[in-house]
Amino acid sequence: MTLTLVLACNRNQAPKILVLYYSQSGTTETVAQTLQTSLGADIEAIVPVEPYDGDFQATVERGRKELQEGALPELQPLKADIASYDIIFLGYPVWFGTYAQPIATVLATQHFAGKKVVPFCTFGSGGLDSSTRDIREKLPDAEVLPGYGVRAARIDAAPAEIDRFLKTGGFIAGQVEKLEAFPASQPVTEAESAIFDTAVGDYPMIHAKATEVASRTVPEGREYLFTARDLPRDGSETLGREMKVYVLAADGQAPVFTQVVR
Contact 242, 205 (CB under 8 A): no
| pLDDT of 12 | 59
| pLDDT of 127 | 96
| pLDDT of 236 | 67
DSSP codes, 1-39? --HHHHHTT-SSSPPPEEEEE--SSSHHHHHHHHHHHHH
| 3-class secondary-structure state, position 152 | helix
| pLDDT of 133 | 97
Give the chain's residues under pLDDT 70: 1-12, 235-237
Residues contacting residue 34 through CB under 8 Å, at least 6 positions apart: 158, 159, 162
| pLDDT of 154 | 97
| pLDDT of 233 | 76
| pLDDT of 235 | 67
pTM of the model: 0.92
